[in-house]
Structure 1
């Protein structure tokens, strides 16, 4: 029996980098001709537009193949394959047999299974999940993490690559092992600020597994995939042999993956599902038909309606989150969507319940991101009424313009893992300022947009197509919320500014140059200018002097630090997936060098202080040495900030 939605469901939270596809021959129109899985036809205009859009996108973006499913106006699902599953064999994409890796589109599949159990009163979405799971969760009794928080990306967890990409199946551990032994830190209170988190969804999937008392892949299979007749879909890793052999080849910058031998996911519920177009058509039908398939009620009545409700939003004037799906407005029409990117596949699912329309597209190359955008936009333009445009003009600057202006960075970042630098550099960053006419201007890369305030802290784009809002914390404007994104952006202040880190990095390099180049060059110059002074000391005498030994200590510390950092970077470039997800012992041993460099830095700092009390140091040498010691401290602080001073997981 369906429960009444809790207050938290509606008020919780009020207030995602793809690599390029490998180069290859463009797909010709003949290669892209579709293979169809059913004789029933959609409306001819929709299918014609679909064929044109997919074929054009494959050619334009140099993607080998596509797997597509569409449901419209109550018609049976239409599943189609385009292009080739493998460029070498030129095997066509078969919508009935060729599975594609759907990445994070797995998440709404997991959410559907969970909602069915919620509607059966078997799982409470607002209960503390730590009481259901035998894994440590960084939470407190006063601020418990709930299933609602996890599914709406409001668990408060950091976002790292820990436990994500596992290149070798022999290294793959059970899901519960990653959750228990490699937990990710909670960096903010749950239920308030959204931040897309794969770890949170892995916990949500483990709730389903714990309820069924089975491994996750069996639990999702028995609770949803099998009842829904999705026999050619699986979360298993490695895939069953029959699916692996028919699986589309994935093309990405990290390699070409055939027969299902792509990197596996430790956090399985976050994105390990592979599925055919035919099976995804059944999933679309399940979502648009109230949980009914082939005349049978597969899901608990009311489960789909409850899932499609809004469960969280950062602001009432912005789109938010359904249960496992993201809201987005197409004009006045509400759509629900989710995408999924892996190292060699890209997928996108969109539902329009009001128009009984659903679309799933998947491409076997990361460049499918652009291709999917083209296809989804084309189809929505065909099915939905054109959004009304507006022309908004500002009426002077907002009263809190000075508080709003600044730089905002996505909170979807690593905090304690050694991928903190890569996550910060890839995080969406938006600069906010105001024009003289009072319009708010956002700049993200080369994109510039203008916005007009429609109510305090809420802005609408000048063409009326989208809205953003700002959120407060402690009475100060701290957050920027984008409608249609579960992830907030936070104001960047103080030592978190990348410009500050740039200045410190430059200072570190200059200090290193002084110690490693300047001091030896000065010593050599003095030796060449000694004018035959036979009393010039040999090296054994020279290194016994306090000043020379101190300089050797500082130079040695710099040398060890730089050598260690270079080795860490080289190891990362050689084995990026392993280093980011489950760093081997060879990588962790490299941090012995950074530890020795840090110890040398502490000693250098102590000598710098001593130099000001010793008569053997002249004032110029003291100043030089203090600058070098300061640059060493700056370098160590930078390494500490980016979690590169100590071995992974040690904070």
Structure 2
């Protein structure tokens, strides 16, 4: 469920593979969570400019277009297989498999029989189920969700959470990573247990800030089960899969026996060839769907036909057009779908990722056309993210070109407004109360201006791999120089409150980083502090060896000698402390299936080990007192102060990164 947002962002935490975690951390993810900004695949950088199709959208033209795009893209991106489905006017125009669903047996992808994991596209099924209950009057979008739950979301000063907040990702929840993905069925908690034991804090007022949330979607699925009186899986079988004839689709985990033989294997890369275990998505309504390409076509057709067998036309229109537009004029969040408008056409859709599978679904509402792609590999350097966005853009440009393509002039205020926006930002989709906060300290997005008064952010790139450049075309609205995506800043009293950009504008914002949390300030200071501590710890035995070699007596005695030895010992221990934190975080984030209760013991040990840097500060102050009141050299006195400052910086970093937090929720 690492979302499509990860195609351009280096996500500090998953947190955006947001399953977003990757999303953002993915979503930096993405996590949703998690590969960052990949180098472009050759299939994208070498692609010729897309020309409009002379004969329009026909099966033969679409097949020729896809056959010229997909196989080369998969080969260059090191991806094992993919399925692509295109629907038009209530029919599946084309559904085609490419590559292999199983590299060992060389089984080809079959669009009718092979199941893929669409990740967070699963959410569209959950949202559709919610809207069915809205349509029947069993739930209200604006009622406190506690009305429908058998446990309570704690009160918040901003008021209750509603299903409207949940469906627009404005419930205000902090990102969660724990239990997000598993491979061991024995560890797998049911949905009720997961929700009740992993309730995240609310970090934003309800309805105010987009912050993509897998937990909130899982909560919606649980409400569907509570209100309907049947399990979530049974509800979907009876009310979505059944009416649409989606006989080869399921949210059930593990996958049922009758479908298991046709489930595509998932890979990191095709060249590696080592399949991953079936990924168990704990917040199942947020991302556990397994489905064939043709079944996904049936789902797209239903929504393009005013709800089809799922919703009445009024409810479908409400779902497709009710915009939560927090950052006009950028694409906004609808009720479950997000806008993907391109070339002046109204497009809604959703992306989705697990660790291995990466997918996109787009609906051209007024044209009755849908496009779906799912790939069974992350690909080399995360190529799947670039491929799916390039396919969407190429498809739209070929069949729905911009008939009135005119570049708006750059405003004269570009330099002034750009200077106001330049700075460091962190994602609203992130962790703010636990050790994963430390990821944001190294994943902050730097926005600056170039010599042409264009905004740039090194972590965000064009398809070619070059940094995206934005020029101001409306007051505080910038457009990509070589694209259609826009960036905007919300201003209050001349200060940036939040900033966002397409395509993530519906689900995530970027918040200005306060000075005390600025990686531009804190990270260089931390490097200097670590060098000082390392020199102190390493030169201690070196000097001892030199004295032993030349039979030179230790020049200190009493408390001065004790302080000297203590501060050097704690300097080494502090380096070990930070090293263990780094190792644990890298170990956990390299495979989300490790984010379970098994982390509790090492986490607790490191949380109690906070006494090391705190004790280091006390010992460094004692050492400084002994040095300054003794007969030390000027260099010794200066170095004693350096050590005090070094420990203060380490404590500053640990506090800002919540390494001192005692929570086991993350």
TM-score, L = length of structure 1? 0.83
Which of the residues 387, 393, 413 maps onto 1:397?
A: 413
Shift of 1:274: 0.9
Which of the residues 121, 131, 137 maps onto 2:137?
A: 121
Q: Deviations over 1:475-494 (max 9, x none)?
A: 62222122442211122330
Distance in 2 between residues matched to 1:409 and 1:580, nearest whole Å: 23
Q: Secondary structure at the match of 2:525?
A: helix
Which of the residues 634, 643, 648 maps onto 2:658?
A: 643
Distance in 2 between residues matched to 1:19 and 1:157, nearest whole Å: 23
Shift of 1:133: 2.3
1:67 and 1:277 in contact (8 A); partners too: yes
Paired residue for 1:442? 456
Q: 1:318 to 1:248 in 2, by over 3 A?
A: same
RMSD: 3.2
Distance in 2 between residues matched to 1:239 and 1:290, nearest whole Å: 30
Q: Deviations over 1:2-55 (max 9, x none)?
A: xxxxxxxxxxxxxx24659xxxxx99xxxxxxxxxxxxx953323332333323
1:441 and 1:451 in contact (8 A); partners too: yes
> Is 510-519 or 84-93 further displaced after alignment?
510-519
Distance in 2 between residues matched to 1:592 and 1:520, nearest whole Å: 29
1:451 and 1:459 in contact (8 A); partners too: yes
Q: Deviations over 1:307-332 (max 9, x none)?
A: 11132112332221111111122121
Distance in 2 between residues matched to 1:387 and 1:466, nearest whole Å: 18
2:627 and 2:640 in contact (8 A); partners too: no
Paired residue for 1:227? 243
1:554 and 1:600 in contact (8 A); partners too: no
Paired residue for 2:346? 334
Paired residue for 2:89? 73
Q: Secondary structure at the match of 2:138?
A: coil
Paired residue for 1:508? 529
Which of the residues 316, 326, 339 maps onto 1:304?
A: 316
1:595 and 1:646 in contact (8 A); partners too: no
Please state if 1:629 is matched with 2:650.
no
Paired residue for 2:263? 247
1:217 and 1:236 in contact (8 A); partners too: yes
Paired residue for 2:572? 559
Paired residue for 1:343? 355
Shift of 1:234: 1.4
Distance in 2 between residues matched to 1:99 and 1:646, nearest whole Å: 42
Distance in 2 between residues matched to 1:463 and 1:558, nearest whole Å: 50
Q: 1:648 to 1:511 in 2, by over 3 A?
A: farther
Distance in 2 between residues matched to 1:636 and 1:650, nearest whole Å: 22
2:89 and 2:368 in contact (8 A); partners too: yes
Q: Deviations over 1:179-221 (max 9, x none)?
A: 2212222212121221222222222222222222344333333
> Is 496-505 or 607-616 further displaced after alignment?
607-616
2:343 and 2:397 in contact (8 A); partners too: no
Please state if 1:597 is matched with 2:612.
yes
Distance in 2 between residues matched to 1:359 and 1:200, nearest whole Å: 27
Distance in 1 between residues matched to 2:410 and 2:60, nearest whole Å: 44
1:19 and 1:366 in contact (8 A); partners too: no
Shift of 1:522: 4.3
Distance in 2 between residues matched to 1:76 and 1:473, nearest whole Å: 48
Q: Secondary structure at the match of 1:369?
A: helix
Paired residue for 2:599? 584
Paired positions, count: 601
Shift of 1:614: 5.4
Paired residue for 1:471? 490
Paired residue for 1:374? 390
Which of the residues 61, 67, 72 maps onto 2:77?
A: 61
Paired residue for 2:330? 318
Paired residue for 1:37? none
Shift of 1:524: 4.9
Distance in 1 between residues matched to 2:76 and 2:482, nearest whole Å: 29
Shift of 1:441: 2.2
Distance in 1 between residues matched to 2:581 and 2:503, nearest whole Å: 38
Q: 1:574 to 1:600 in 2, by over 3 A?
A: same
Please state if 1:452 is matched with 2:466.
no
Distance in 1 between residues matched to 2:601 and 2:93, nearest whole Å: 51
Structure 1: unaligned runs, 5 residues or longer: 1-15, 21-25, 28-40
Shift of 1:388: 3.5
Q: 1:403 to 1:299 in 2, by over 3 A?
A: same
Paired residue for 2:24? none
Q: Secondary structure at the match of 2:143?
A: coil
1:57 and 1:374 in contact (8 A); partners too: no
Shift of 1:589: 5.0
Q: 1:185 to 1:78 in 2, by over 3 A?
A: same
Please state if 1:94 is matched with 2:113.
no
Paired residue for 1:130? 146
Counterparts of 1:10-409 in structure 2 under 5 Å? 16=27, 17=30, 19=35, 43-76=59-92, 78-137=94-153, 139-140=155-156, 142-252=158-268, 261-292=277-308, 297-367=309-379, 368-386=384-402, 388-397=404-413, 400-409=417-426
2:325 and 2:333 in contact (8 A); partners too: yes
2:360 and 2:372 in contact (8 A); partners too: yes
Q: Deviations over 1:576-602 (max 9, x none)?
A: 324445443453354166234145225
Please state if 1:492 is matched with 2:507.
no
Distance in 1 between residues matched to 2:234 and 2:329, nearest whole Å: 40
Structure 2: unaligned runs, 5 residues or longer: 1-26, 37-41, 44-56, 460-465
